[in-house]
Structure 1
Amino acid sequence: MFLTISATGTPERPATDLGYLLHKHPDNAQTFSTSYGTAHVLYPEASAERCTAALLLEVDAVALVRRGKGKGRGGAPDAALAQYVNDRPYAASSLLAVALSAVFSSAMKGQCNARPELPARPLPLRVEVPALPARGGADLVRALFEPLGWTVTVEAVALDAEFPGWGDSRYVRLVLESERLTLSEALRHLYVLLPVLDDAKHYWVSSDEVDKLLRAGDGWLPDHPEQKLITSRYLSRRWSLTREAMERLELVRLAEADDSAVEEIDNAVAEETEADSEDAAEPEEKSVSLAVQRRDAILAALHASGAARVLDLGCGQGQLVQALLKDTRFTEIVGVDVSMRALTVASRRLKLDRMGERQAERVKLMQGSLAYTDNRLKGYDAAVLSEVIEHLDLPRLPALEYAVFGSARPKTVLVTTPNVEYNVRWETLPAGHSRHGDHRFEWTREEFRAWAERVAGRHGYGVEFTPVGPDDPEVGPPTQMATFTMSAKEEKAA
């Protein structure tokens, strides 16, 4: 089976940047072993104007039979001959999707150490799949890909060109074109939708497939009009797994609520102002906005911790990332957000496409959900959750706690969140209202302290509390910050 990915370019942005993104040099033909055969990566053309990478997967049909996975659709027993005579070696399926993930894993994750600015840059892309099983026909192919920003050309393959009366087969030739998608997005679309169109997988679908689906579907699946069909087919119509995935997708969708203003929340404010949504209710006489005071407090705490490699979790439009970049003490800065739109704005704010090479090596923007563990976040000195936790439903907080404190385990974690007791000081904020419509809760100082101490004790951290903004003697500060520091015993064990 065969798939090509092409990019066009200019002398300033050559198409051969595709080789950096795929981590495969255009001058070399490379071979990779897979569980069911051999994958070859080669470049039929590679120039500044146009570059094409081809993935050729040679499937070992005998290996499929020996493992009991060559028995036809969904692995169900068919005629004995179907074990040996089937479309698995020739038509795009879950075999090709798994090969894409294995061979281009870094590209799919949006990682490029050599050119860190490239993964976030949209490319003029063309993807061609000559033989794709499409259970649902051309209409379904368009319904799956067009909402994602692809221009779709789909041609049905006749059963036999010499006998047109026999009609069309279930196979199509697919061409996808787009100028506004990143390579990572394109690969994740293919990884999920190729087996969805085939409506069969070559391996047993277990519970870990839900996590794979949500990782690959980050940023596009929660709002896809065919979400239910995609989820059901990807999980081989296993109802229990489909229900779990749909519930988790709904939680992600809710977490992205109010995204019409590009995450117009406390840590993702409109680009033209330094103040966030809660600062609009701040007394006018304040000369320094609360947003600025909060960033200053975070920077001071990071300096005190001695951190050099920092995560900004829920980075929004990148205001804190921008402030960190101005300080050379921070050698690596990673911004993570669930919203691709917010990351796009952050990329523009930081001018990643025009940033010098040395500066670009210090910063990276990644899409990710804090509700799931992510190995990319391990090994950092510090992590910041600035005005993030209040945007999660309370039942989801334990997932975030484990992802940050139990899995990523930075040496220092800074968490800021509104102090609800201070709300009475803002005359323009109606009684009983939150500072922002997307806030799922706002804690008192006592509630925040109880949560932070519980989390610290559970995961081997100490915690201290710092007021941010004017510390009112009656109601406390407008923002409260907790600084979690890993205990010496835990740090040594890590």
Structure 2
Amino acid sequence: MLLTLTTTHHPATDLGHLLVKHPDRVQSFDLPTGAAHVFYPEADEARCTAALLVEVDPLKLGGGRGRRQSSAPEGFTLGQYVNDRPYAASSLLSSALAKVFRSALRGESRDRPELAATAIPLTVRVPVLRCRGGADLAVRVFAPLGWTVTATPIPLDEAYPEWGDSRYVDLTLSGTLRLADALNHLYVLLPVLDDAKHYWVAPDEVDKLLRAGSGWLAGHPERALIIRRYLAHRRALAGAALARLTALRPDDEPPTDDSVDPAADGAGTTAAHRAPLAVLRREAVLTALRDSGARRVLDLGCGGGALLTALVADRRFTEVVGVDVADRSLALAARRLRLDRLPERQRERIRLRQSALTYRDDRLRGYDAAVLMEVVEHLDPPRLPALQDAVFGHARPGTVVVTTPNVEYNVRYEGLGPGRFRHADHRFEWTRAEFAAWVERVAATHGYTATITGVGDADPEVGTPTQMAVLTRDDRNEETDR
């Protein structure tokens, strides 16, 4: 089985430092089920590709002491030797990743510590992956994590197209992520898509899952499926993992994607799976901040730190401050950012502050920009004037970016009947006219000029799922004009 990892970061050969594998050498490693080899098909400053090739020994795979083969059909004596395990990406490849790239999985690099903490352009290809659920499932599990996913079904026989597709896909992932995040996604999700494990799943697998899923699994829209499959459908282990994962996430932390409440009946088979709204929203906010020229940015109501991670990865933002009222949210954000592992120079750019957004806080004054991403709808309407005064009247950042759900779009989600909001913690959801009126009032009261746009696929009748406003302080505009 084969996996390739490519970057165009300059110089691209820094990939060798991150993986701790020299591009000029082929390195081999013994595995309990065979051997793994790391080599570089291409390596120059413009483009570098690392390949992991795993050779599986069927005798080792079938002869391990105490091992139970989940892939062998019951009653088929040779099933432990005659199967697709040596050829298709599975938990065997996942285990090889954990052994061969151990320090990279932890986000550690002695030679390039700052690069290890930085998102870089990556392309991952797994040419043969068993995907129980088809290509659509591959998109559903990887796309919400920031990947552009191409999953091409492999035909049973190219000479006989009428036979249809096999259960395998050729998977390509492209995105700008930290290498550690990319490897942890693969470590968890390759066996999830295969829906089988080559070893007996014990209780310690829960710890492995939560460790590798730190910072992304709690808010994943397919969280339940991922947990269930990773733990080989062992109900007790899956229940324990879900309970521990829920305990890590504060009740008052806004969900990663408010597209629709997971508890809504029938929710889940919607456009949110086809287009990862959380990723689109985050990219729209980042684009607005970049266009504003901001260098020092506040993430107000930062929750678990999804936006903070993206802000820190962009070097043009010289100071990034996450603000939340819940200390548990800030602890989760610190864990997601891996503050205890970041180099000192990188850590100096980041601040986490506990503060209520409905009270004036002098520590938040003087910043170039602030973000209220999916925050205002979590406040009771009578508290909105206090937020407006604290943010727009007192802190007065040069630019404020606000996103909130468009309630008119809710009719496009299955399971959301009349009067139901996208998440149980939402106190209200605005129509486009209501949002525009609020933005106009805030801008007129506090001296801002506003522009309203949408995020996500636009529906001709009900608009986009998310609405976004960019408010720019008028006196800053006048200074720029002068």
TM-score, length of structure 1 as denominator length: 0.54
Letter in 2 for 1:6: T
Q: How far did residue 73 of structure 1 move?
A: 4.0
One-letter amino acid of the counterpart of residue 17, structure 2 = Y
**Count of residue pairs the alignment pairs up:** 301
Question: Is residue 22 of structure 2 the alignment partner of residue 25 of structure 1?
Answer: yes
Q: Is 2:183 the partner of 1:187?
A: yes
2:339 is the alignment partner of 1:342: no
Check the 8 A contact 1:189/1:216 in 2, yes or no.
yes
Matched, 1:148 2:114: no
Aligned equivalent of 1:321 = none
Residue identity (%): 50
The alignment partner of 1:221 has SS state of: coil
- Cα distance in 1 for partners of 2:296, 2:334 equals 26
Q: Which residue of 2 aligns with 1:5?
A: 5
What do residues 56-102 of structure 1 show as CA deviations (whole Å, max 9, x unaligned)? 00111101111278876455634112222111111100010010011
Cα distance in 1, alignment partners of residues 214 and 61 from structure 2: 31
Change (3 A) 1:200 1:347: closer
**Is residue 182 of structure 2 the alignment partner of residue 216 of structure 1?**
no
Task: Please list the CA deviations of residues 368-390 of structure 1 after superposition, one character each: whole Å capped at 9, or x if unmatched.
Answer: 749x9x9989xxxxxxxx99999
- For the pair 1:164 / 2:161, whether they are aligned, the reply is yes
Asked whether 1:36 is paired with 2:33, we answer yes
3-state DSSP of counterpart to 1:254: coil
Does structure 2 conserve the Cα–Cα contact (< 8 Å) formed by 1:134 and 1:198?
yes
- The amino acid that maps onto 1:88 is R
**SS of the residue 2:128 aligns to:** strand
Question: Counterpart amino acid of 1:96?
Answer: L
Deviations 1:206-247 (A, max 9, x none): 111111111111111111111000000000001111011111
Unaligned runs of 5+ in 1: 263-269, 278-315, 318-336, 354-365, 378-385, 392-427, 430-494
Letter in 2 for 1:4: T
Render the CA deviation track for 1:430-458: whole Å, top value 9, x for unaligned. Answer: xxxxxxxxxxxxxxxxxxxxxxxxxxxxx
Amino acid at match of 2:105: M
| Equivalent residue, structure 2, for 1:53 | 50
Pair 1:8–1:28, CA change in 2 (3 A): same
**Residue 132 to residue 272, structure 1, CA distance change in 2 (3 Å):** closer
Q: Provide the C-alpha distance between the structure 2 equivalents of 1:33 and 1:375, rounded to a whole number of angstroms.
A: 32
> Hey, what's the Cα distance between the residues in 1 that align with 2:32 and 2:154?
29
Matched, 1:249 2:245: yes
Q: CA deviation at 1:48?
A: 0.8
Does structure 2 retain, via aligned residues, the 8 Å contact 1:71–1:83? no
Contact 2:70 2:199 in 1 (8 A): no
| 2:449 counterpart residue number | none
Secondary structure of the corresponding residue to residue 201 of structure 1: coil
Is the deviation greater in 191-200 or in 69-78? 69-78
1:133 aligns with: 130
Query: Normalising by the residue count of structure 2, what TM-score does the alignment of the two structures yield?
Result: 0.56
| Structure 1 residues 338 and 76: alpha-carbon distance in aligned structure 2, compared to 1, 3 A threshold | farther
* Code of the aligned partner of 2:308: A
Amino acid corresponding to residue 194 of structure 1 in structure 2: L
Task: Give the corresponding residue for 1:99.
Answer: 96
Q: Indicate if the aligned counterparts of 1:158 and 1:169 stay in contact, CA closer than 8 A.
A: yes
CA distance in 2, matches of 1:231, 1:85: 28
Q: Which residue is equivalent to 2:224?
A: 228
Q: How big is the shift at 1:158?
A: 1.3
Asked if the contact 2:62/2:69 (under 8 Å) is kept, the reply is: no
Q: How much has 1:126 moved relative to structure 2? A: 0.7
- The answer as to whether partners of 2:71 and 2:80 remain within 8 angstroms in 1 is no
Report Cα offsets for 1:92-134 as digits up to 9, x if no partner: 0001001001111111111011111011211111100011000
Distance 1:271 1:58, change over 3 A: same
SS in 2 for 1:129: strand
Given that 1:72 and 1:78 are in contact with CA atoms closer than 8 Å, whether structure 2 keeps it comes out as: no
Q: Distance in 1 between matches of 2:210 and 2:239?
A: 13
Shift in alpha-carbon separation, 1:209–1:152, aligned structure 2, 3 A: same
Q: Distance in 2 between matches of 1:111 and 1:68?
A: 33
Partner of 1:173: 170
* SS of aligned partner of 2:211: helix
Within 5 Å, give how 1:293-332 maps onto structure 2: none
1:449-488 equivalences under 5 Å are none
**Are the equivalent residues in 2 in contact too, given 1:71–1:77 (CA < 8 A)?**
no
The whole-number CA distance in structure 1 between the counterparts of 2:201 and 2:353 is 34
- Taking the aligned partners of 1:250 and 1:208, their CA distance within structure 2 comes to 18
Q: Say whether the 8 Å CA contact 1:146–1:152 is kept in structure 2.
A: yes
The DSSP-based 3-state class of the residue aligned with 2:224 is: helix
Q: Distance in 2 between matches of 1:96 and 1:375?
A: 29
Deviation at 1:202, TM superposition (A): 0.7
Whether the 8 Å contact between 1:75 and 1:201 is mirrored in structure 2 is no
Equivalent residue, structure 2, for 1:238: 234
- In the alignment, residue 52 of structure 2 is paired with which amino acid? L
SS in 2 for 1:194: helix
Match of 1:202 in 2: 198
Instruction: State how far apart, in whole Å, the 1-side matches of 2:180 and 2:76 are.
Output: 40
Question: Does the CA-based 8 Å contact 1:7-1:52 persist in structure 2?
Answer: yes
Deviation at 1:350, TM superposition (A): 10
Residue 115 of structure 2 aligns with an amino acid whose one-letter code is: L
Residues 1:110 and 2:107 aligned together: yes
Give the drift of 1:344: 4.7
Distance (Å, rounded) in 2 between the aligned partners of 1:273 and 1:149? 22
| 1-structure distance, mates of 2:65, 2:214 | 32
Which residues of 2 match residues 268-307 of structure 1 at below 5 A?
none
User: In structure 2, what is the equivalent of residue 381 of structure 1?
Assistant: none
> Is 1:85 matched with 2:51?
no
Root-mean-square deviation (CA), in Å?
Answer: 3.7
How far the C-alpha of 1:9 sits from its partner, in A, is 3.0
Unpaired runs of 5+ residues, structure 2, are 257-281, 283-293, 320-331, 343-350, 357-385, 388-482
